[in-house]
Structure 1
Amino acid sequence: MTKRSTDGQRALSRGGLVLLLGALAALGPLSIDMYLPAFPQIAADLGVEVGQVQLTLSFYMVGLAVGQLVYGTVSDRLGRRGPLLFGTFLLCVATLGCALAWSIHALIAFRIAVALGGSAGMVITRAIVRDQFDEHESARFFSLHMLVMGAAPIMAPIVGGQLLLLGSWRGIFWVIAAFSLCCWVALLRRLPESLPVERRVRHGVREILRTYWGLLGERVFLGYTLGSACVTAGMFAYISGAPTFFIEEHGISEQAFGLFFGANSAGLILCSQLNLRLLKRFSARRIMLGTYTVKLVAELLFVGQLLLGWGSFWTALPCLWVCIASGGLIFPNASALGMGLVNRKAAGSASSLMGTIPFALGGLSSAAVGAMHDGTGRPLAIVMGLIGITGWLITMMMTRTRRAQQP
């Protein structure tokens, strides 16, 4: 029998909740990955360099960082559903603006608006999970969540490349707008409120700032947040530099680029599902630390091959695959461990920080890759290597507690 929520909506099953939250959270990444193969075409159409088109990605990261900081606090005060509806609608409208953009500056402005809308789904879905599940169940849910979210970076560049065969880059944004509208309708009809009125925070600005300051003072929480943020920053360096590495340097077609990009994203899904099995035998922390070390080794090998010429394009690909796929074992566990340390009343604010910091670093890393653009994958290797070392050191040093040191 179908359950109903208190407001008369039909309550979602666990599988339905995973699917809808995954789709909502994937809207932000989908808006990134689908237009990557179109970078050279956008540059030619708008009369700018590819490096300037990469700025649309950097500013998008800034928008995601700012938006997530706002939505977490707002959702703690007003509930989860209303802000999520608003953000998804804003993403849809702003994406239509991208499809109609007449200059690179207009495209950047609309991309910022898209990010401000898409950040709602990325931050509030984490808070909804914290509202309903404990630490262990959250880790399992986030792994299933990534199965849905992971489909976006696999399919998006492939679909984007195929759409370029049918029309211009503008068609990509029309498709994203249509998908976001479908998500908005599903959210409106099927997702009930997960934060009851009696559990909402009614603090003023001073109390909100105090909450954020208190979270930043929690060393272990901050360690998980910064460690995960460095993984995100490395991924956005890859996203920014991938078109140059594959298309410009090695002559991969726009359609084949989607396949290469999708293969790396498939690894992200594979590892997120492997995490479900590993959690039956190991703690979330042990899985995360072990994976982070393997990731660092792969990054150093990737740097060595691109900067020192140790190998070829084909030998660099497995290292790059490990660097990206490892996120499937790091993100769910870091999210669960970090959010598990937080009082439920501050879940939205904590989720904001776990979203804002990674995308702020992601904006910086993608901008760094764009600034060093030289038509090769060397800038990508340099940025990924530096971020990888930093993230590993932070994670190992800042997340150590007596409880964490127990086997």
Structure 2
Amino acid sequence: MASASTSQKTATGHPFGEKIPGWLVLLLGFLTAVGPISTDIYLPAFPAMQQTLHTSAGNVQLTLSIWFVGLAIGQLSVGPLSDRFGRRGPLLIGCFIYALASAVCAFATDIVTFSVARFVASVGASASLVIPTACVRDVVPDRNAGAKMMSRLVMVMGVVPILAPMLGGLVVAVTSWRVIFWASAAYGAFSVFFVLTLLPETLPPVRRNTLSVETLLGRYAMLLGNRPFSSHAWITGFSTFMQFSYLTAASFVFIKMYGFTPLQFSMLFGFFSVFMIGASQVNGMLVGRIDAGKLLGIAIKIAVAGAALLVAVVIWTQYYASPQIRPYSVLFIIGAMLLTLAPTGIIYPNAMMGALADHAALAGAATALAGTMQYVLGALAGVVLGQFSAVSALPMACCMLFGTVVMLVISFFRPDAQKDQV
């Protein structure tokens, strides 16, 4: 009996047999949230950091791009490492580095020190972005089932980012922004503890790959040349470009232009996140009844419509709205942004599972490459928006529209694009 159980676990490629415990999704969601929480929690503090560190708004925004670059670089290495040495070891090391570097951010007295520490923290945090997704691919081989689990993962990991900017805004209102990074360090320490005590190894030794520079480059070249992977990975990348255009500019747009307090901005951020998570749960209910590829195509089209509406609303607000209506124009902007951002809760899980569907043996490397593409494009969005002064919402809106339109174009090159047309 024990032998049969062991054989079953080996066949399924994970330590749970056929039944995956509910707590695994909670744990992986908590770990994956290290990335989003570190991105989101300090957004309300941008204006305060600009004053404390005696620097410009552009330099503060640049720290977000630095964060994205570190995530991109880290993922390229940690993904293949997890394919070679298993999931737990690289994840533990990454969480420890993140915790330590976040503490250094809390001590920083100038923008250079802060930026360097932020970069190191992002390299560590990259493990938490790659490895939990690879764990999902380890234990759930079917694309639709994987998309369902990813939707639940999005819900769990999304709860923390909803609370994060609210807590960040509250911290800025009552104390120093440095407390935010002490909290980040504590989050990293808890992640280390939970991995040590709860997370089993999901990649058995028999499924691990050899590692060399030549082999690694060959894997990445093969993945980029694979149409199902590359088309879905580019979609997740430009979805990230669109979201990070919002993340980079939103605090200055709403706090400086529209007079929101940091706490009010945080609540708005949470409002958007609730709808993105809600969309991911709708996706989880629909996948299986409706093919994941078809849901992906519908969501992309909704996002394009929302972004086009956002650009139109911003132009109308700045150049054509009457003085009596202009104070209320922010409500129209929020509505258009909601229509643009909410579909990402459907786009991400379906596109990511589409990218990984045919690459069970390279789940770590495939997740890493897709994640790197996301954060390189996210960093690019930050660099582009950093060139504009924070006096208009139009650069943010145009970048968001660009990201959605490119997603739409790429979606036509998916292998199942014709089948998924609606």
Fold shared, TM-score > 0.5 on shorter chain: yes
RMSD: 2.1
Alignment partner of 2:33: what SS? helix
- Measured against aligned partners, the alpha-carbon deviations of 1:205-247 in whole angstroms (never above 9, x if no partner) come to 1111111100000122101000111111110110001011100
Deviation at 1:384, TM superposition (A): 1.0
The question of 1:330 aligning with 2:347 is answered yes
The question of 1:376 aligning with 2:385 is answered no
Alignment partner of 2:210: what SS? coil
- Measured against aligned partners, the alpha-carbon deviations of 1:70-90 in whole angstroms (never above 9, x if no partner) come to 111111111111000000010
345, 351, 356: which is aligned to 1:339? Answer: 356
Q: Is the 8 A contact 1:248 1:376 kept in 2?
A: no
Q: Is the 8 A contact 1:22 1:149 kept in 2?
A: yes
Deviation at 1:405, TM superposition (A): 5.2
- Measured against aligned partners, the alpha-carbon deviations of 1:179-208 in whole angstroms (never above 9, x if no partner) come to 221121011111011111111001421111
Cα separation, partners in 2 of 1:275 and 1:206, compared to 1, 3 Å = same
50, 54, 57: which is aligned to 1:50? Answer: 57
Q: Is the 8 A contact 2:173 2:262 kept in 1?
A: no
For residue 93 of structure 1, what is the aligned residue in structure 2? 100
Equivalent AA in structure 1 for residue 407 of structure 2: G
The question of 1:156 aligning with 2:156 is answered no
Deviation at 1:404, TM superposition (A): 4.3
Deviation at 1:166, TM superposition (A): 2.8
135, 139, 145: which is aligned to 1:137? Answer: 145
CA distance in 2, matches of 1:231, 1:148: 20
The question of 1:321 aligning with 2:338 is answered yes
Deviation at 1:376, TM superposition (A): 2.0
CA distance in 1, matches of 2:250, 2:383: 13
**Larger deviation, residues 88-97 vs 381-390:** 381-390
CA distance in 2, matches of 1:57, 1:251: 22
TM-score, length basis structure 2: 0.91
For residue 400 of structure 1, what is the aligned residue in structure 2? 415
Deviation at 1:13, TM superposition (A): 5.8
CA distance in 2, matches of 1:118, 1:224: 23
For residue 185 of structure 1, what is the aligned residue in structure 2? 193
**Larger deviation, residues 85-94 vs 309-318:** 309-318
CA distance in 2, matches of 1:402, 1:348: 26
- Measured against aligned partners, the alpha-carbon deviations of 1:241-291 in whole angstroms (never above 9, x if no partner) come to 101110011000111010111100111110011112211420000001011
Q: Is the 8 A contact 1:57 1:366 kept in 2?
A: yes
Equivalent AA in structure 2 for residue 30 of structure 1: I
The question of 1:16 aligning with 2:31 is answered no
CA distance in 2, matches of 1:304, 1:317: 13
Deviation at 1:375, TM superposition (A): 2.1
CA distance in 2, matches of 1:13, 1:294: 33
Segments of structure 1 that go 5 or more residues without pairing to the other structure are none
- Measured against aligned partners, the alpha-carbon deviations of 1:310-342 in whole angstroms (never above 9, x if no partner) come to 772111111101211111011111111111122
Alignment partner of 1:375: what SS? coil
CA distance in 2, matches of 1:76, 1:332: 21
**Larger deviation, residues 387-396 vs 26-35:** 387-396
The question of 1:367 aligning with 2:383 is answered yes
Q: Is the 8 A contact 2:227 2:415 kept in 1?
A: no
CA distance in 1, matches of 2:389, 2:354: 37
In the alignment of these two chains, the number of paired residues is 401
The question of 1:206 aligning with 2:198 is answered no
CA distance in 2, matches of 1:188, 1:13: 19
Q: Is the 8 A contact 2:149 2:284 kept in 1?
A: no
The question of 1:71 aligning with 2:71 is answered no
Equivalent AA in structure 2 for residue 130 of structure 1: R
The question of 1:352 aligning with 2:359 is answered no
For residue 404 of structure 2, what is the aligned residue in structure 1? 388
Cα separation, partners in 2 of 1:60 and 1:205, compared to 1, 3 Å = same
**Larger deviation, residues 266-275 vs 300-309:** 300-309
Deviation at 1:402, TM superposition (A): 8.1
Equivalent AA in structure 1 for residue 234 of structure 2: L
CA distance in 1, matches of 2:150, 2:220: 24
CA distance in 1, matches of 2:151, 2:22: 13
Q: Is the 8 A contact 2:79 2:364 kept in 1?
A: yes
Equivalent AA in structure 1 for residue 106 of structure 2: A
The question of 1:281 aligning with 2:289 is answered yes
CA distance in 2, matches of 1:51, 1:168: 21
Deviation at 1:353, TM superposition (A): 1.0
For residue 126 of structure 1, what is the aligned residue in structure 2? 133
For residue 45 of structure 2, what is the aligned residue in structure 1? 38
Cα separation, partners in 2 of 1:404 and 1:88, compared to 1, 3 Å = farther
CA distance in 2, matches of 1:102, 1:313: 35
- Measured against aligned partners, the alpha-carbon deviations of 1:24-56 in whole angstroms (never above 9, x if no partner) come to 111011011111111011010111111110010
For residue 238 of structure 1, what is the aligned residue in structure 2? 246
CA distance in 2, matches of 1:320, 1:371: 22
Segments of structure 2 that go 5 or more residues without pairing to the other structure are 322-328
CA distance in 2, matches of 1:402, 1:102: 51
